[in-house]
Amino acid sequence: MVMIDFFKKKIYPPGFLLGGYKILSTIGEGRFGICYLAELDDKQYVLKVIKPNAIKKSGNKLIFEERILSSIDNPAIPKILEVIKTDEIHVYVLEYKKGRTLEEMIFDDGHVFSRCEIYKVGIALINIIKYLHERNIVHRDIRVPNVVIDEDEVYLIDFGLARLVDNDRYIPNIDFRCLGHLLIHLYYSSFDGTNKKSGPWYEELELSQKELIFLKKLLGLKRKYMSIDDVEHDFEKIFPREDIVSK
């Protein structure tokens, strides 16, 4: 009964035991669940507790995250290790990837991303997207809160909206559009808008012609990309490898 009371408040306090895991802190809250950092046998995990109203509204849609994460094995994607289900709770136990999200780095830390860093984040995400698309999976939520950076490691988290490609609603260029918006966020980290009249991103940012065309194609403002291989090809042309390696 105590567990139900806490669940109605939508938050478990530090020290609370949930399925044997000790809650350490709240990581964040999304549309479908609340994520906690938890500990068991001196090892840290992420517990994603699905909200009761999400279960009622979404029903079988919730099984997509579990099925998709159970079907893939990539070091850049947290593994699903266990599912805890009772009458009161529905919890995914996930591998913990330490680091800072891009959102935290940009808005909390004030981090300014260099071109070298933008390249490294971008090419890492392209490789993750390629891995997913080869398995007919679209993530659909590649945003700054869902990308974790730990030194040179880049992780993609939160597969709550991920689906299998159906060539109708769930199509690969959804992820291209998300990648475009994410890269624009990284470019804006170095933008100084002082005493400048605000305008659209393609006027405010100092971009090369190749960068401008690339981002517009990702967003579907120009001819859309049809495959992640084409995205990778054009991205590599924007950032010559010798320039990146030398920095």
Please give the average pLDDT of every successive group of 10 residues along the chain, which has 247 residues. 44 93 93 92 95 68 86 97 88 96 97 96 98 97 97 95 90 96 97 81 94 96 93 92 58
CATH code, residues 2-95: 3.30.200.20
- Could you say which of 3.40.50.300, 1.20.1250.20, 1.10.510.10, 3.30.420.40 is the CATH number of the domain covering 100-245? 1.10.510.10
Question: Which tokens sit at 49?
Answer: 């507790």
- Is 57 labelled a binding residue? yes
CA–CA gap between residue 35 and residue 40 (Å, rounded): 16
Sequence spans of domains, the chain: 2-95, 100-245
**Model's pTM, two decimal places?**
0.90
- Show the tokens assigned to 189: 């980290």
3-state secondary structure 125-150: HHHHHHHHHHCCEECCCCCHHHEEEE
Pick from 77, 193, 175, 192: nearest CA to 126? 175
> In sequence order, what are the residues at sequence separation of 6 or more whose Cβ sits closer than 8 angstroms to the Cβ of residue 66?
80, 83, 92
* 94 three-class SS: strand
Q: What pLDDT does 1 receive?
A: 34
Question: By C-alpha distance, which of 159, 150, 77, 80 is closest to 120?
Answer: 150
Q: Where are the beta strands (DSSP E) in 88-181?
A: 90-95, 100-101, 137-138, 147-150, 153-156, 163-164
